[in-house]
């Protein structure tokens, strides 16, 4: 029970890595604040996680003993973020862990000069500035208590470049920079900030993930072949599982990593080492 008596906020919790982290944290004793936009977003060419999926994540966490507060929150809206954090503090009194997982993979599939300004702005507003809004709201609470762990879910796209994914690559590289800046700002207050960089994560039906399929669609990779195509680039000859990322997040959330801050942890089977 490595997270007993701790409260964690997880964004993008309706499905995928967010749901995997929520379940793992609940199994380890955490109280949970699960946030997700829970609605489709104009300009994103695939369905976002829905309210029913967010509620299902909450039910799964309660089934293993977690106390859960779930809310539909768009990380582009600072007012909604602040309201959700106030509700979390009212319910659980403190926030110990923040997992910034909310993100989109599209609009993508275009060369840099083909990206429209609205598409560029949308990607950065969610994948980068959304994390900043969460940190802006939660970090002062952690500073006041002189404890806390901020975990930003970046990507191997934050470590290397990818063709035709310029806005996504820029946002994920920026998230690593934000992590390092936060680590230095909050180190005097014993508040830690680290980044996780998942590689190609399998779209596990149990967590209803679909990020890899969307990346494949943006690259015109046939749906029936996309896992085989992505495995070819993996040094360990396997895709990552959502639970692999959740286990790494658990380590960064728990006290066993209390001297780890400003770190960038690749969960990519060696992909970024090539």
Q: Which residues are tagged catalytic?
A: 168
DSSP bridge partners of 152:
100, 195
61 Cβ neighbours under 8 A, 6+ residues apart: 22, 23, 25, 26, 32, 34, 68
Instruction: Say whether 217 sits in a helix, a strand or coil.
Output: helix
CA pair distance 6, 30, nearest whole angstrom? 5
**Tokens 């809206």 label which residue?**
77
Under 8 Å between Cβ of 265 and 196: yes
Torsion region of 16: left, alpha or beta (phi above 0 gives left; psi -120 to 50 gives alpha): left
Phi, psi dihedral angles at 201 (to 5 degrees): -100, 130
């Amino acid at each position: 029970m490595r997270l007993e008596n701790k409260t964690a906020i997880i964004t993008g919790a309706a499905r995928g890595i967010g749901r995997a982290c929520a379940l793992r944290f609940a199994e380890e004793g955490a109280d949970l604040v699960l946030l997700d936009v829970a609605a489709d977003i104009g300009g994103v060419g695939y369905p976002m996680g829905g309210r029913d999926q967010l509620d299902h994540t909450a039910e799964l966490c309660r089934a293993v003993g977690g106390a859960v507060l779930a809310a539909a929150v768009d990380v582009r809206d600072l007012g909604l973020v602040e309201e959700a954090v106030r509700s979390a503090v009212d319910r659980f009194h403190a926030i110990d862990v923040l997992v910034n997982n909310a993100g989109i993979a599209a609009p993508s599939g275009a060369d840099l000069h083909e990206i429209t300004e609205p598409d560029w702005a949308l990607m950065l507003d969610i994948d980068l500035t959304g994390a900043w809004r969460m940190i802006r709201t939660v970090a002062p609470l952690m500073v006041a208590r002189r404890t806390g762990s901020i975990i930003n879910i970046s990507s191997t796209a934050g470590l290397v470049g990818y063709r035709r994914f310029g806005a996504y690559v820029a946002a994920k590289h920026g998230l690593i920079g934000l992590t390092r800046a936060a680590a230095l700002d909050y180190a005097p207050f014993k508040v830690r900030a680290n980044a996780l960089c998942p590689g190609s994560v399998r779209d596990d039906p149990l967590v209803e993930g679909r990020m890899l399929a969307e990346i494949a669609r943006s690259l015109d990779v046939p749906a029936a072949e996309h896992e085989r195509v992505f495995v070819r680039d993996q040094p360990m000859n396997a895709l990552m599982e959502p639970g692999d990322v959740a286990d790494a997040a658990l380590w960064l959330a728990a006290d066993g990593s209390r001297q780890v801050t400003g770190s960038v942890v690749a969960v990519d089977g060696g992909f970024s080492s090539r």
